[in-house]
Chains A and B, each alone.
Chain A
Amino acid sequence: MNKMTPTDPLASYVQQLRKKTIYVRITQVIIFLLFFGLWQLSSTERWIDPLLFSSPAKIVTLLYDKMIDGSLFSHIGMTLSETAIGFVLGTLFGTLLATLIWWFPFLARVLDPYLVILNAMPKVAVGPILIVALGPNITSIIAMGILISIIITTLVIHTAFQGVDENYVKVIRSFGGSKYQCFKEVILPACFPAIISSLKVNVGLSWVGVIVGEFLVSKEGLGYLIIYGFQVFNFTLVLMSLLVIAILATIMYKIVEVLEKKLIRHHH
């Protein structure tokens, strides 16, 4: 038998867990430093073409300059509002459409093949048609952000609506509740988790829609900066925009995650 040590087994277990977490963090930081360090090194040593691949130092410097002269913020503001409007409206319209076909099962059956086709289709391919229909402006970009998420939202939420335990509905019906009351008291709240999780997916999708939309039409925004940087061969600008997008998309996702925790903490 081991030498008797007066350690609390729970405390030592917790300590072990903490230790593991620290190892994970350390490894993550090492990967981060290694990647950017190597990138910087190969750029200054000209192992890679600095004109094409830029370098972390140049990107950060450019980011700093653009923040100081304020020009970056109008681009961020533009893209951010397009994306936010896109994913909120995409989720909202998707949920409304799902409600409509839940309410009218006939409609659900009629629309089923169309929804499947629309869902399978690459939505960004419709971009040029949107521009022709709505004009080369912010409306087209937002429409792109909505279009890319609305169909999948409809399908996911409608499936969630149908998956609600019939017995909850039975409770409402036994009190004489109407179809509207069944929807409001049971179907919708029961599907809150599904709605929030499509919100999470739609954040990512709307970024795609909006950036592609900006590639096609805009004079402003992060997608515009990428395309502009590409055209004038300024890859530092391209990579800086990418960095900003990555940071903003993560923040947006985290906000939705916080919202999720708040809204559905009582669902099971």
Chain B
Amino acid sequence: MAFLQLKDIGQTYYSKQAATTALEDITFSVAEGEFISFLGPSGCGKSTLLSIIAGLLSPTTGTVTLRGQHITKPHPKIGYMLQQDYLFPWKTIQENIMTGLKLQHQLTPERIEYTLALMKEIGLSDTLSLYPKALSGGMRQRVALVRTLATNPKLLLLDEPFSALDYQTKLKLEDLVSSTLKEHGKTAILVTHDIGEAIAMSDRIILFSTKPGRLFRSFSVTETLRRRLPFEARQHEDYSMMFQEIWEELEQIEQNDAD
């Protein structure tokens, strides 16, 4: 049995004016420990699909199962991280990272200790009593990662978590997120429109076509690249080859769009 299984997922948004089909016929599975990237032009339904997997949105058709269990509402084993940090400005960093535990009534000494250890791991232990506005964008996104990891989810959903950051911070954070998730044995789905980021971080890349969003192709990242941290992977020759290949596919999608 697959860790995560999506079957015939379709999503149509209705408004008074029109019905928009955002997703159609999405079927695939994810193995435990795998790092998947969703890649595709904006508006192809990546965020919508992530919301469905997170149980925040029920799909018009199809089912999501996690270890055979139907996902119909948010599940404690699934963590969700947004494009921006969305740390609560009125809470201290400490209160922010404990939010999930508080909501799930899990504020036990062990869980608190685990969360504080995570803070140490990402190097932000000395910010606990500060408020988010005192932190830089990169630091805030790291805190948001800890907030998501605090409840110990098995599956992490990351919706363009680096897109609001400057390039240097983004590269550093890619390494940090990649190594942290590997170390803790998490399964992850990353949404991105950055080809390089998808190659550098993931084991498998799923390419989406648009209008409506469908699976277009799937690429396996070579073993050589997988073993490397994102920053090193970006230097490797396999990286450039793969970049070229995906680039051409994306061009093709655009071409189809234009017709």
**A interface vs B, CB < 8 Å?**
165, 167-168, 170-177, 181, 185-186, 189-190, 192, 264, 266-268
Is B73 touching A176 in the complex (CB atoms < 8 A)? yes
Taken together as a complex, chains A and B put the C-alpha atoms of A71 and B104 apart, in Å, by: 58
Instruction: Mark B121-142 against chain A: 1 for CB-CB distance below 8 A, else 0.
Output: 0000000000101000000000
Is A266 touching B89 in the complex (CB atoms < 8 A)? yes
* A-B residue pairs in contact (CB < 8 Å), sample of 23: A167-B82, A168-B86, A168-B88, A170-B56, A171-B82, A172-B99, A174-B79, A175-B74, A175-B151, A176-B73, A176-B75, A176-B76, A176-B103, A176-B104, A181-B103, A185-B103, A186-B88, A192-B90, A266-B89, A266-B90, A267-B89, A267-B90, A268-B89
Nearest-CB residue, chain A, relative to B131: A266
User: Does chain A have a CB within 8 A of B80?
Assistant: yes
**B interface vs A, CB < 8 Å?**
54, 56, 73-76, 78-80, 82, 84, 86, 88-90, 99-100, 103-104, 131, 133, 151
* Further contacts, 10 of them, CB under 8 A, given A167-B82, A175-B100, A185-B99: A165-B86, A167-B84, A167-B86, A168-B88, A170-B56, A171-B80, A185-B88, A185-B103, A266-B133, A267-B89
Residue in A170, A172, A264, A268 whose CB lies within 8 Å of B103: A172
Interface pairs A-B: 9 shortest CB-CB: A174-B80, A175-B100, A175-B103, A176-B74, A177-B103, A189-B90, A266-B131, A167-B86, A266-B90
Nearest-CB residue, chain A, relative to B56: A173
Give chain B nearest CB distance to A266 CB in angstroms. 5
Query: Which of B73, B74, B75, B84 lies at the interface centre, i.e. has the most chain A CB atoms within 10 A of its CB?
Result: B74
Residue in B82, B104, B131 whose CB lies within 8 Å of A175: B104
Taken together as a complex, chains A and B put the C-alpha atoms of A192 and B131 apart, in Å, by: 16
Nearest-CB residue, chain A, relative to B102: A185
Is A190 touching B56 in the complex (CB atoms < 8 A)? no
Residues of chain B lying within 8 A (CB to CB) of residue A165: 86
Is A268 touching B86 in the complex (CB atoms < 8 A)? no
Give chain A nearest CB distance to B137 CB in angstroms. 15
Taken together as a complex, chains A and B put the C-alpha atoms of A175 and B107 apart, in Å, by: 14
Residues of chain B lying within 8 A (CB to CB) of residue A190: 90
Query: Which of B79, B82, B90, B99 lies at the interface centre, i.e. has the most chain A CB atoms within 10 A of its CB?
Result: B90
Residues of chain A lying within 8 A (CB to CB) of residue B84: 167
Taken together as a complex, chains A and B put the C-alpha atoms of A61 and B244 apart, in Å, by: 91
Is B89 touching A174 in the complex (CB atoms < 8 A)? no
Residues of chain B lying within 8 A (CB to CB) of residue A174: 54, 56, 74, 78-80
Is B133 touching A175 in the complex (CB atoms < 8 A)? no
